[in-house]
Structure 1
C-alpha cells in the first residue's frame, strides 16, 4: 500500500454512526429506529393485535351463525357481543366446531333482533364467574399473522486519490477518510429514505437481487387504508378523515407525511388564527403540530422533499423498524487494490425495513390538488 493510516487494517462498525446520521435527517427515514437483527434475507415479524377482537358472520341458518375457525376460537359461552355500528347486546349461548348461537340480552335502544350474514360482531367482554379456572378467561396476545420484508445490500465506495491526499484539505489522512465516510453515510441515508418510501419487495434468488419494500409497497396493499381527496387542497378535513381511518383500524395517528409544498398549504389554513401583539418581532404561518378532532392528540407535520406532491400519508410510526441482517450491519473496510494511487474503503451492509401492522397504521391521502395550484389560489384569495 502506498499510503498508510491508523485504521487501514481495521473493519469499522458504522451502524451507530449511521443511526446518528439518520436521526438527524429531517426525513421519513428518521422514523425508523434500530430493530432486532434479521436472521435471514426474508425477514419476518409477528403482527400486533391492535383492535378489539371481532367475529365475522359468514352465514345464518336456522338461528345458527357460521364463522371461520379462527373467529370461533375467540368465543366462549357467555361472551357478550354487539353488531358493529349497532347498540344491541347479545350473549353467546352455544359454541360448536361449525357455528354458534346468540341471544339478545339488552336492546340498548336498538331494534336489531339478531345478527345477519356478513355482520361484524365486536366482542364486548366475557364475564367470568367467581373462582374461575385456567382457560375460563379470554385469550389474547399476538395475532399469529406474520408480515415480512426482504433485505437489500447497500454499498458505497470511498475513494481518495493520491493527489487529494497530497492537497491535504481536511488535515491528516485519517481526517480525510472520516470526512469522506461522513459524506458517504449521508448519501446512504438519503438512498435509504427513498427505498423506505418507494422500494419494492423482491426476495433474493440466484437470478434476482434482493430489494426492500417501502411505504407505498406496504401501504397500498389490498388491506391498505386510503382517502381520495378528489383534487381538493390538503386541509384539516381530509387529514381528520384519514386519521379517523387509522384510529378505527386500531392505530394511533401521530404524523402527517407530505411534500414541503403541501406542508405550506396546510399551514396556510391556520393563517387567519394568528394573533399579533405589539411585542412580537416575528410573524408567519408555520404549523408543526395539528391536533386531530378524533381523540385530541397532536399529529406532527413532516415535510419530505422526496414525497410526491399530490400525496400525503397519515402514519402511526410505532410499527417502524430498521433491521440489519445478522453480522451484516453497515461497516467499512479497506478495499485498496495493489498499486492503486490512493486509498479505497468500502462501506457495505445489508438491511431491511419493518412495517408492522401496515394495514392499520398507514393511510394514504391521494389525488390532492397540486401545492403550487393551491398556494396560488390562497395567494389570490388574500
Structure 2
C-alpha cells in the first residue's frame, strides 16, 4: 500500500493541532503509517489558500478529511498545494462533479428522484425547472445542500403546480442558506422513504465501507452492499470516475433502495459509531486501479467549422436528459447528431443531442440524452450543422 499525506483542519485556537472533531481520524492515520498535516479551513474558505497551507510539507500526494469547502475554495486549495509540489488525489473538476448535484445526476438519474435545476436564483428559471417535473409533491435544495431541519418552510413543496407557494419555499431556502447558497435551485420529485439513511463509501467506483448516516449514528445499516446498493448503481458510479465519494441511500416505501445524494468523500462526515481506523483503512492511496480508461480521440482539438453553442444555462428535463442553452448565433444544428462538450481546449465528453423547440427567444437549447453527460455554464458545445 502507498502511504499518503492526509490533511485535516487545524484547531482554531491551537493552529498547530488538528481540529478536535477530526483528531481521532488523524491519530488513526498516523498509526496506519500516513503522514498528517493541518490546514487552516477558515483561510481556505475566505480565499487565503497560500496562508491556509503554510504548514503542509512539500512533494506528496494528498487526501483531505475536513469541513466542507465550496468548489471555488477547493480549486484555490488545490492550486496552492500544487505550488508546494503537493497533488490532491481528487482534482478540482472531480470535486465539483461530486460535490454539486448537477455533476453527478445524469449518471445516477435512474436511481434517484427526478430532478431539475436552475443556474442562479431567477424566478422564471425556477418555474421552468418546477414545471418540468409535472404534478405532485417536491423537495428543494441548492447544488450542495438542503435545509432539512426547516422542512416545512424551506424544503417541502406539497404541490409543484402551485407556483406562488413553491416560490415562497424557494425564497426561504435562499434566505436561510445566505452566502452559502450554491449554484441554483434544485427541485426534486418527492418520494416517501422509511427508516434511516445509510452512508456508503466508494473508492474508484467500488463500495469499500457501509456505515450509518451521521444524523442517525445508532441506526445500524445492513452489512451487505448487495442489500443496500441496487443492481446497476456500481457501474453507474464507476462511469463518474471519482476517486473518493460517499453515496447516501434510503429505502423507499415500496422497499426499493434509492440514492439520496452523492458527495465528495473528503468532506463527508463519519458517523460517531464508526471507528476512525475503519475509515482510514479504506482511504484512497493512489495505488488502487482507477477503472478502465475512458475512450478519447487522439489529441482532440476543437473543430472550427461546425455548429457551436456557448453554454450559459443548464438544467434537467425530468428523466429526458440535460438541457444546455446559450445565445442563438443563427447557425442551424442537425438534430439527433453527436456533439462534443468542451471546457476551454479540453474535451469533456460527447452526447447525442436534439434541438429543444421551447427555447426562449434569442437563445438556442440542446437536449443532451447520453448517460453520464456532464456540462456546465461556460462550456462550449460543437456539433454538425444542418
* TM value normalised by structure 1: 0.24
Higher CA-based Rg? 1
Greater relative contact order (CA < 8 Å, ≥ 6 in sequence)? 1
